[in-house]
Structure 1
């Protein structure tokens, strides 16, 4: 471990990630579910990308958005898990200042990208159910590509200022981060200057991205539900709503842990630190792991194609 933990410095070359303070003796056990979920995430999301690429019948907007989601999940989980596991297994606690800022950027940028993709998928479901005859003319391949580009640009522009703000603060008391990764608030709290602008900007981005995206998703599903309830039979209603089930479940597994973690980090000092850190890892681990399972099980075309591939390999 290089450098002193409490020396004066204005430009730290490294930070020290403590992992989960208070649970050091359980790191080996904690690493088992962490490693397992990461392996499942890698396998599941690469499988989604492979199936959509190979199967021409899946070359539709819904599956293009699903590929964007899978790629985002791969980056999101890979940005934190390898370093977290190296802390648990090898006590590799050091991370360079530039690597820490890079990790923060990837976390915030790709969380915003995932949120934007869920909005795009909600719009796809809205068009497919409320305007089925116009679906192919509204969501053309160029429109899907431009939507993906817009989501990436929005997320990048919102994430970069927070990284520049974190880079400019003087860090003059300690370089110890009580976390498994470079979580934005945990890093900024180490600065010895007035960090209110960073705190306010972080709040703005969180409420702007989450609030705006949840609003658009809600509007889409209000229109979808209205269209479903106008269908003549109960069977038709259930069948149509079933096409949205996987998307709704994926949305809940993404937003609920983020909201809970955000509220406990910002406003609840009575929550145990190790619990807050575990929850902060949940929203980076669970959605990338569950998304391919949710869509693989609930989406008939993907499920059938995967079963065909398994049978072909077995013969």
Structure 2
């Protein structure tokens, strides 16, 4: 497999306290989001940006479960390695944990409990992934911006600042859990100091890029849906959305095997060989029908 110029990190550590007691025994990223493990959706999102080399950062107690589910990624035509996050000390910690994995490459980071869907999403992701200098982040208008990093604009819609979990948000535009950085992110993340919450804040990292004039903030169109599935309501909402869409169309959402097949990373024979483990269930029949119909984008 050729090494992609940009690598992908999925941050799937943490304790999932908002979802306890469900998460006392299993990582929230391994919970079902309708008919697939929740981790399939962020993995698929980064695959749509052309990334094939992944590091998944997990809580040590969940490592074997992730390996059992995803293995080394070969079945998806990608490479997956793992790292442990013994203490969840902030999103930006992903880059110090993943320093050796990133190497000299650019990198994308997605939070393991984030869900993205929309017709223009793939186009936006590919554009961000091809950018070699600086950082690209995405913002979405929400009803509860105080839960997130909030983007403030001037009168010309130029980004002025990003404020982490403000009590009185100046806008409703929240930064989503999807970030694209150049290789300088390793150096910048090492300069961060813990916030009052005791975490290495991703907002502080983004502000470094902003002050250097190297941060691009893309506003998602209304047709793109972003959900943080870290609460019971949002997890249920995302699952209901996937169910509703898949019941009305012939295609599935968040299917890594399909994405890999359509990207040409695995061929029809390789896809067909994966059907054995599904034993003619609904998911396996879907993959089988893909081969037979050869429907393309």
* Pairwise TM-score range, normalised by the shorter structure: 0.3 to 0.5
Q: Give the structure with the larger helix fraction.
A: 1
Larger Rg over CA atoms: 1
Q: Give the structure with the larger strand fraction.
A: 2
Q: TM-score, normalised by structure 1?
A: 0.31
Q: TM-score, normalised by structure 2?
A: 0.32
Q: Which has the higher contact order (CA 8 A, sep 6+)?
A: 1
